[in-house]
Amino acid sequence: MAKSLPYIALIVAVATALSKLIGLLRQQAIASIFGIGVAYDSYSYAYILPGFLLILLGGINGPFHNAIVSILIHRPINERNYIIAAVNTLIGTILCGVTGLLLIMADLLITLVGPGLTPELHEIAVHQLQIMAPISLFAGFIGLNFGILHVSEEFWLPSVSPILSSLTVICGIGLLWLHLGASINAPEQALLGGSVLASATLIGAIVQWFAQLLFLYKRGFNKLTLLWDWSHPGVWELLKIMGPATLSSGMLQINVLVDLFFASGIVGAAAALSYSGILVQTPLGLVSSTLLVPLLPTLARLSASKDYKNLVKRIRQGLILSNFTMFIVSGLMIVLSYPIVELLYARGAFNDYAKDTVSTLLMTYAIGMPTYLGRDVLVRIFYALSDGLTPLRFSVMGILFNVIFDWIFIGGPSPWGLQLPTFNHGTSGLVLSTVAVNILTYFALLFALQSKLNLLPLSKWGVSSFWLLVSAILSSLFAWQITERISWSNDIVRHGIQICFCGILSLVIYIISTFFIGVPEIHKFILNLRKSHRSPY
C-alpha cells in the first residue's frame, strides 16, 4: 500500500532532523579539536573533490536519487532490478576510473584547487586526498541506493543513514584525542590529525553504503549483479535524465571549488567557509528533504499524466512553502548569527577570531537562503518535466558569474596587486558572490519555467511572497530588538536561552501574521499543523 504524503513528510522530517543534529555534533567536535588550524584547513581542500562527488552523486535529492525516482517509480519490480543492475555496473566502472585518477593526480589537483596554499598545507592536503579518493566510488552507489529505497517506499533509512558517517568521524577524532590529549592541535601533529580525519571520513562513507546494501539485499534489490547491457530503453531513459542532472548539480558544486580557489590565499578561509556553511545547510537540508522528497514523485506523476492544472497548483505550493519557511529562517540566522556561533562552536581551539569570522559569514550566507532552496525546488520541477538541460544551461552561466563576482568581491586580485580594493570584502566577498549567483539563477529558472509552461501567474505569486517577506522582516526585527535591549551574559547556557527565547517569540509573531495575510497554502499549512494528520500538499 502506498504511504500517504503526510506520513512520508513526517518520516523524512524526523529522520533528517536527527541526521542533521548528529552532523552538527560532528562539526562541533571538529571545531573544538582543530579550530581553523592546519589539519582542518587542509582537509577543506582535500575533501573538495571526494566531497563534491559524495554530495553530487550520493546526496538525498541529488541527481542519481532524482533520476531513479523519476524513471523507476512506474515500472514493475523485475524491470527495476534489471535497470538497476545495468546502471550500477556502468556507474561503478566509471567511478573506479575516477578513484584511480584522484590517487594518481592528487598533487596536481591540490595545486589546482589551492594554488595559494603553504607547502605544509599542500603536503597534508595531498595525503588526505589520496586517503579519501575511494569515496568517489561509494558516492555513486549511495546515491543510487537512495533512489531505490525511495522507489520501494522506504524513507527512514535514506534520511537517517548519514548519521553513520557522522558518528564514524566523531569516533575517529575522539580516539585521536584520547591518544594525543592536549597536544592534538600541535603543529607537529597536523599530519596525523589530518590523516585520521580523512580516514574516518572514508570509513564513514563505506559504513553508510554497507548499511544500505544490507537493507536492500533483504528486500531483493541490489545483489551486486554485474550486467553489461546498456541498450535497454529504461537504462537509456534513466541515463538521459541522470547525465544532464549530474552535470547541472555538478556545476553548483563547482562554484564551491571556485570559491576555495580564490580563498586559498586567505589564512583560515576554507575552514571558516566550511563551519558557516554547515550551519546554513542544516536548516536548508531539513526543509529541502521534508519539502522535496514527497513533492518530487507527485510532480513526476502529474507531468506524466499531463495534468497541468494540478501541476501548476503543486508548483505554487512548493515555491510558496519554500518561501514561507526560508524567509523567517534567513531572518533569524541574520539577527542571531553571533549567539548561534558562540553556542555551537565557541570552545577548545575555536578562538575569538574564528567566532567573528564565522559569524560574519553565517550572516552573509543567510541572505541567500530563500533563493537557494527556491532554486532547488525549480530544478526538481524541471526534472519532473523530463528537462535536465535547462537547469544545466543556467548552472553553467552561474559558474561564469561566480568567477566574476568572486574576483570583484575580493578586490580584483592580480599579479600587480588588487585592482578593485574598494570592493575587497575578504572571505565575506566569496559568500556575497554565492548569494548573488543564487538570486540570479533562481529568477532565471523561474522565468524559464513560465516560458515552458506559459501557465504560471507569477505576478500573483510575487504578491503572496512579498507579504511573506514583509512578515519575516518584521518578525526578525522584533527578535533583533530583544537581543539589543536585554543584557545577555556571555556564556553558553545564556546564549542558548537567548536563541530559543528570541526565536520562539519571532516565530509566533510570524505564524500569526502570515495566517492573516490570506495566502491559501499558508492558511492550510498552519491549520494542518494544528490538526497534524493532514498534508500541506
How do the domains of the chain map onto residue ranges? 37-229
pLDDT for position 1:
42
- Taking the model in full, what pTM does it have? 0.73
Distance of CA 239 to CAs 45, 68, 84, 242, Å? 30, 10, 11, 5
pLDDT for position 236:
73
Which grid cell is 66?
532524482
Cβ atoms 30, 354 nearer than 8 A? no
pLDDT mean values, one per 10 residues, the chain (537 residues)? 55 73 85 80 86 71 64 66 76 88 92 83 92 88 74 66 88 88 78 90 91 76 63 71 68 76 78 85 79 74 79 86 91 90 79 86 93 89 81 86 91 76 86 92 92 85 91 91 75 77 89 83 69 48
Give phi and psi for 224, each to the nearest 5: 55, 35
pLDDT for position 248:
64
pLDDT for position 71:
65
- Angle, CA 369 vertex, CA 386 and CA 29 arms, to 5°: 110
Distance of CA 77 to CAs 19, 48, 146, 214, 227, Å? 30, 37, 16, 18, 17
